[in-house]
């Protein structure tokens, strides 16, 4: 009885704290992410499934530091970087963040365009209407209502689980390949591995998760539940990725179809996997794109305003926080306009540009995070332990070198 009571109390506290980790991790599966996982499945079948597990671990490692910083200091990551490393560094970091986030928003609107066309909705309708709805939601809404909407959006990812089952994968091979790494060292598959890690751990996520932990005002006492939230988010995101790879591996790879984008994947699934599987896949892409296009502009505006010391927050009115809403509006509509006006061919260099900045930014951000979380004057008793630092630094070095390799490889291509 007592144990049951305890369990209930834990659950109640967890429910109070849950959100930032799960939402951040799910937005991570936006149009760009889905594209990468689909290509991985289509091109390499089940053979890259194992990559998802170490990636999940790295994700937890990085994101846990963010939510810890948020809970302990009550400040966002960009504020901490500004206070610890000064204005110059923060400014250029924010400039880079602005462009890479804008690139992600473009990818999301392109994903929205592609998925809505699968359902017979013209892109010239879907994208402007989507952009305007998102804009309206943030301008009129409060943090609580928006978080609720985002939570519901997370549920739509179930679409991928179902489409993974509908694709009737070869479970035995999948299970085997999840544990045993094969064909790592061909240059093609290595590029793909780098791509998977690179899209799963992106710089905006650190800024966003820490900012929403702060916004939620999670007390230090309940930090443990915030850790659960981070871990739960990483697990959910890994499961979704797993099923995307599975769906594409079981159908496209088997039929020898190559794809380049998530929209391609949804289209290509129809003849080989049936219309329900393809429809669900496209539906997942649509909600993921909307979700990403909603959160990335908010995150961009929040991070920049915090670093520069401007008023911010969804809970304020336009006149109270003009910089915040201007930045938000610019990122959102610029993303939509670029996605609509630029041809598919032109979109590729934009994506490459955004990925390169992403790749350069991530090691820098992780380096700053490790410096801050090791600083006792900032973190107090919640400073990184010796062992954590050992693991975190090696994890960070791996992630950083992977993203640098990605930059070099992208530029060489």
Residues that bind another protein (CB under 8 A): 72-75, 79, 82-83, 86-88, 91, 217, 219-221, 308-309
Q: Of the two residues 165 and 223, which places its CB atom closer to another protein in the complex? A: 223
What is the CA angle 130-134-140, rounded to 5?
140
Q: Of the two residues 123 and 216, which places its CB atom closer to another protein in the complex? A: 216
Judged by DSSP in three states, 185 sits in coil
Q: Of the two residues 217 and 256, which places its CB atom closer to another protein in the complex? A: 217
CB of residue 73 vs another protein: minimum separation in angstroms?
A: 5
Q: Of the two residues 43 and 75, which places its CB atom closer to another protein in the complex? A: 75
132 close to 382: Cβ distance less than 8 angstroms? no
CB of residue 209 vs another protein: minimum separation in angstroms?
A: 17
Alpha-carbon distance of 34 to 107, in angstroms, equals 11
CB of residue 376 vs another protein: minimum separation in angstroms?
A: 13
User: How many beta carbons lie within 10 A of that of residue 338, not counting itself?
Assistant: 18
CA 403 from centroid of its chain's CA atoms: 15
Tokens 């499934």 belong to residue? 49
Q: Of the two residues 168 and 375, which places its CB atom closer to another protein in the complex? A: 375
Residue 46 corresponds to which tokens in the numbers above? Answer: 């089940």
User: How many beta carbons lie within 10 A of that of residue 54, not counting itself?
Assistant: 14
Q: How many residues are recorded in the chain?
A: 413
Query: Which among 215, 220, 183 is positioned nearest to 19, based on CA atoms?
Result: 215
Query: Which among 106, 30, 41, 37 is positioned nearest to 357, based on CA atoms?
Result: 106
CB of residue 377 vs another protein: minimum separation in angstroms?
A: 9
Alpha-carbon distance of 244 to 36, in angstroms, equals 10
CB of residue 11 vs another protein: minimum separation in angstroms?
A: 16
CB of residue 77 vs another protein: minimum separation in angstroms?
A: 12
Q: Of the two residues 140 and 275, which places its CB atom closer to another protein in the complex? A: 140
Q: Of the two residues 193 and 218, which places its CB atom closer to another protein in the complex? A: 218
CB of residue 105 vs another protein: minimum separation in angstroms?
A: 25
Residue 329 corresponds to which tokens in the numbers above? Answer: 């509006």
User: How many beta carbons lie within 10 A of that of residue 364, not counting itself?
Assistant: 17
133 close to 336: Cβ distance less than 8 angstroms? no
Residue 173 corresponds to which tokens in the numbers above? Answer: 């091979």
CB of residue 143 vs another protein: minimum separation in angstroms?
A: 12
DSSP 180: S
Q: Of the two residues 278 and 307, which places its CB atom closer to another protein in the complex? A: 307
Q: Of the two residues 88 and 120, which places its CB atom closer to another protein in the complex? A: 88
CB of residue 331 vs another protein: minimum separation in angstroms?
A: 20
Residue 170 corresponds to which tokens in the numbers above? Answer: 């070869």
Q: Of the two residues 219 and 271, which places its CB atom closer to another protein in the complex? A: 219
Alpha-carbon distance of 251 to 237, in angstroms, equals 22
CB of residue 87 vs another protein: minimum separation in angstroms?
A: 5
Judged by DSSP in three states, 259 sits in coil
Element (H, E) at 399: helix 386-412
Residue 362 corresponds to which tokens in the numbers above? Answer: 């991530």
CB of residue 84 vs another protein: minimum separation in angstroms?
A: 8
For the chain, count helices (H), then strands (E). Answer: 20, 0
Q: Of the two residues 89 and 340, which places its CB atom closer to another protein in the complex? A: 89
Q: At what angle do helices 87-118 and 344-373 cross, to 10 degrees?
A: 140
């Amino acid at each position: 009885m007592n144990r049951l009571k305890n369990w209930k109390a834990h659950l109640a506290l967890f429910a109070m704290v849950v959100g930032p980790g799960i939402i951040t991790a799910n937005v991570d599966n936006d149009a760009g992410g889905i594209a990468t996982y689909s290509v991985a499945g289509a091109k390499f079948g089940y053979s890259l499934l194992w990559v998802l597990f170490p990636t999940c671990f790295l994700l937890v490692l990085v994101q846990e530091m963010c939510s810890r910083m948020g809970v302990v200091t009550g400040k966002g990551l960009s504020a901490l970087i500004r206070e610890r490393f000064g204005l110059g560094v923060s400014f250029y970091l924010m400039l880079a963040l602005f462009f890479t986030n804008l690139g992600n928003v473009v990818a999301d609107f392109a994903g929205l365009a592609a998925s809505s066309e699968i359902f017979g909705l013209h892109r010239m309708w879907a994208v402007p209407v989507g952009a305007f709805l998102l804009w309206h939601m943030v301008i009129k809404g409060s943090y609580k209502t928006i978080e609720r909407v985002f939570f519901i959006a997370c549920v739509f990812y179930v679409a991928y689980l179902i489409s993974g089952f509908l694709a009737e994968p070869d479970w035995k091979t999948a299970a085997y390949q999840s544990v045993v790494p094969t064909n790592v060292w061909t240059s093609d598959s290595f590029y793909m591995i780098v791509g998977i890690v690179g899209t799963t751990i992106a710089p905006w996520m650190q800024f966003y998760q820490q900012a929403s932990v702060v916004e939620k005002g999670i007390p230090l006492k309940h930090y443990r539940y915030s850790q659960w939230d981070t871990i739960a988010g990483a697990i959910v995101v890994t499961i979704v990725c797993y099923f995307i790879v599975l769906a594409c591996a079981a159908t496209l790879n088997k039929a020898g179809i190559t794809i380049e984008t998530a929209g391609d994947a949804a289209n290509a699934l129809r003849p080989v996997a049936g219309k329900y599987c393809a429809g669900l896949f496209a539906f997942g892409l649509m909600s993921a794109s909307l979700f990403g296009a909603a959160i990335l502009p908010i995150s961009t505006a929040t991070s920049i305003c915090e670093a520069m010391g401007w008023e911010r927050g969804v809970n304020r009115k336009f006149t109270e926080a003009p910089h915040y809403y201007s930045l938000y509006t610019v990122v959102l509509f610029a993303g939509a306009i670029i996605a609509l006006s630029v041809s598919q061919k032109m979109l590729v260099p934009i994506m490459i540009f955004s990925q390169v900045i992403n790749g350069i930014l991530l090691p820098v951000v992780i380096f700053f995070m490790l410096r801050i979380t090791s600083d006792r004057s900032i973190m107090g008793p919640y400073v990184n332990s010796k062992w954590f630092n050992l693991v975190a630094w090696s994890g960070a070095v791996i992630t950083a070198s992977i993203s640098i390799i990605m930059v070099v490889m992208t530029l060489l291509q």
